[in-house]
Each structure stands twice: as structure tokens, then as C-alpha cells.
Amino acid sequence: MIPDVGAFARPIRRIDPDAVDPDDVETVRDLVGDARVVAVGEGAHNITEFYELKHRLFRILVRELGFTGFVMESGFAEGLAVDEWIHGGPGRVEAIARDGITYRFGECEPVRRQLRWMRRWNSASSAKVAFYGMDLPGSSTSPGPAVRACLDRMPGLPGDEELLRLSDLGGRTEAAVRFEAMPGAARARLLEGLRGLGERARSLDDEVVRRCADSLRAFVEELDAPPAGPFPRDVFMAETVSWILRRERRIVVSAHNAHVRRSPLLGRPMMGGLLATSLGADLAVIGMTYGSGPEVRFTQRSPRPFDCDVSLGTRRLPPNCIEARLDRIGPPVAVVDLHRAPSGLFDGADGTLANGGLDPVDDFPAAYDAFIHVRRVTRVPGAFERLRAEFDATAGPDTGAGPGAKQSAHHEETEAP
């Protein structure tokens, strides 16, 4: 155990989202301060304890500090239906979460429990909470959901049905493969239609339509992202968070550690860094890490989008990862204030673990304000099996790399569970 841990680290005693613990409330209050945006990352998706901790954090912030919005790394267009449901809209939570939360994050019970809680809160409280997606449509591989959201809210024109047909590419991996195999003429018609729809939407006095149109613009730009500078996807997410802040008092933003960090990743500014420029002290960045437990790894078989072998192993901590230091702090779940931590904590640590590799971090207190570290974690039941079945369903011969492959590579780098 590292000496003088109490000077910079505190335990979180309960991870049950509904648990009542005054010490945890004070820990969260000290961690957040007066920030309007609390960006909470996670070093891997589909980790049970990460879901529980994020939802516990959000519920404390709603009850104690007046937070009003939960913003998720999920499609903006799809999230409109989720927000309607938590405000009393029709439908079953299973279908709402499955269709309204992208990257298949909604296909697990922890997310469904959180949506049920938000719906119950809104039915009983005058201080309502809202749900927002902030990401590109169709798990970043299909423009269809944003096209449909635009067309549902704007006057129709000839050609709209054809655009909707072209843009509805199916599920995440299916869409990437279908776009890759699309004949050049059809792809050109699709991209031209997306640009034209964006121009129509921006002329309307409907901010939701314009945001959906901006997600389509970023979707197209992501297909041929420049080799330097921020990814269009991170730019769109940062712009969407700023858009949400004009509507909500204080919000929690949930995404991968790679997106919430303030410092660039491999030279590219990420969403957290783009927000930090305008928000300053109004932004608190909290990463979540873990020591031991399952770890998903991807081995690319060919340049074709999502043509990967997906394997599940057990995490081993290399000596140059920050998790190896955090694991020695002591409590099963600890909040580590990086601005108060001794500099020796970071000696020899080159980054945070992600998908079996290391995301480099040059200056930990510059990238994150704090880490929530869990010594041992478990997978969400069924998540790995769904992921492997999804990738195996689209396995096939190498068709060569094309515009979709660049987008898919960025997606797999930061989003694959």
C-alpha cells in the first residue's frame, strides 16, 4: 500500500446505485465541486461495476447537487426516443434501450435499470432529469437513424424515400460491411443526399433537426478523417455537450476514458480537451480504471471493417500502466485525486489500459482530475457473447480497405467493449 493514501484517496463504500451512505455523498461532493459538467470515463465498456458506479454517482448528483442531465456516448438521434420514454412515453424499456442506445449498450440490465430509475424520478419529482445521446447515428456506421429523425420533423420532398432506403444500412457491423461493398454510384448518391438533407435542415427553425443534420455532416467527414487534428466524431460530441448545456443546469457525460480526457490521445485532441477550452473549471474529468478481471481483445484479420477475432482473457497489469499503481492503494473501490497525489504515484506509468493495449498519457493530472479505481470487476452477463456473435456473423473474405475502414478503425480503437 502506498503511504499517506488518505491525503489523496478515499474509498467508495457502496456501489449499489440506490445505497445511502453519507460518506460517499461527501466524497462525491468534494470530487465534483462547482463543475457544471462531470465527464466520467471508463477504461472498458460493458463492465458491471462501472455501470453501477456511474449510476450511483449520477443519482447522488441529482439528489444532492441539482444535476438535470445524463449524456451518453450513444447516438444523438436515437436518444430522442429514450428521453421521451423517461418522461412518461409509451413502450417497454427493453425495446427503448435496445433501439435508442447505440453500440448495443442498451442490451444489458444495468442500463435498463438506470432508465427505469430516471422514469420513476421524473414521475415523482418536479425537478426533471433528461437523457441525451451525443454521438453519431447508427453506432457510427449507419446514417439511417439521423436521416429518419430529420425527415420525421421536416417537410417532405421527392427523393426522401430513396434517401431513407439508401441510408438504412442495418446494424453496426452489417452497416460497415454494406457501406464498404456499396457500388460507387450508390455511395455517391447517398453522400450527396446526406449533404443535401443537411442543407435543408439548417434552414429550419428546429434545433433538434439541425443537430441531427450536424451528426450526418460529422458522419460523412469521419469517413475521410484527416491524419491530424480532432476526429470529426469527437468534435460533434463536444459540440453536442455544449448544445445540451444551453438546456440543462448541470450534467453528467458518460464515455470511454479516451474521449473524456483533457489531453490529446496520440496527438489528437479528444472530446474532453475540446470542451476544456471553453469550460475551464466548469469541467471535472473522472476516469474509471480496474485492476483484475476479464479483458476483451481484438485481432484484425483483414482490412475489411470489423473483420476481427474477438477473444476474452484475464487482465494482467504491465508495470508501466497507471492501474498497477492504483491497485496498490488499498480499498476495493477508491477515488484518487490526481492533483493531490504525490508525483511518485506516476513514476514509470506511461498510460491507461484499453482493449489489451495502452493509451499513452504524458501528464496524468493534466488529462484527468481523478480516477475511480476498482480492484476487481466482472463483465455484464452476455455482453461478450453478443459481441463475438456479431463479429462472427459478418466474417468473410478480405474485400480491401476503403472509406469505411478508416472510420471503423477509430471506432474499434476507442469503442469496442
Per-residue pLDDT for 415 more than 50? no
Torsion angles phi and psi, residue 230, rounded to 5? -70, 150
Considering 233-237, 380-384, 397-401, the range whose residues carry the highest mean pLDDT is 233-237
Per-residue pLDDT for 327 more than 70? yes
Per-residue pLDDT for 228 more than 70? yes
Mean predicted confidence (pLDDT) in 90-115: 97
Write down the domain spans for the chain.
5-142+231-415
More confident residue, 323 or 416: 323
Q: What is the pLDDT of residues 47-96, one digit of tens each?
A: 999 999 999 999 999 999 999 999 999 999 999 999 999 999 999 999 99
HSE at residue 146, side-chain half, CA atoms within 13 A, is: 34
Per-residue pLDDT for 159 more than 50? yes
The whole-number pLDDT of residue 306 equals 87
The whole-number pLDDT of residue 1 equals 52
* Cα→Cα distances 50→73, 147, 152, 379, Å: 14, 32, 35, 10
Q: Report d(CA 44, CA 357) in Å as an integer.
A: 11
Based on C-alpha coordinates, what's the Rg of the chain?
21
Of 34-38, 209-213, 320-324, 354-358, the least confident: 354-358
Mean predicted confidence (pLDDT) in 121-126: 97
CA neighbor of 12 nearest in space, from 279, 227, 22: 22
Percent of the chain with pLDDT over 70: 94
Kindly tell me the burial class for residue 125, based on how many C-beta atoms sit within 10 Å of its own C-beta (0-12, 13-18, 19 or more).
exposed
Per-residue pLDDT for 186 more than 70? yes
Of 2-11, 127-136, 162-171, 335-344, the least confident: 2-11
The whole-number pLDDT of residue 401 equals 38
Per-residue pLDDT for 397 more than 80? no
Q: How confident is the model at residue 412 (pLDDT cuts 50, 70, 90)?
A: very low
The whole-number pLDDT of residue 302 equals 86
The whole-number pLDDT of residue 402 equals 39
Q: What is the pLDDT of residues 251-305, one digit of tens each?
A: 999 999 999 999 999 999 999 999 999 999 999 999 999 999 999 988 888 888 8
CA neighbor of 222 nearest in space, from 263, 277, 268: 268
Per-residue pLDDT for 414 more than 50? no
The whole-number pLDDT of residue 301 equals 87
Q: Report d(CA 67, CA 234) in Å as an integer.
A: 23
Q: What is the mean pLDDT of the chain?
A: 92
Q: What is the pLDDT of residues 127-148, one digit of tens each?
A: 999 999 999 999 999 999 999 9
CA neighbor of 23 nearest in space, from 36, 32, 35, 14: 14
The whole-number pLDDT of residue 3 equals 57
Q: How confident is the model at residue 2 (pLDDT cuts 50, 70, 90)?
A: low
Per-residue pLDDT for 249 more than 70? yes
| Pick among 3.40.1660.10, 3.40.30.10, 3.40.50.800, 3.40.190.10: CATH of 5-142+231-415 | 3.40.1660.10
Percent of the chain with pLDDT over 90: 85
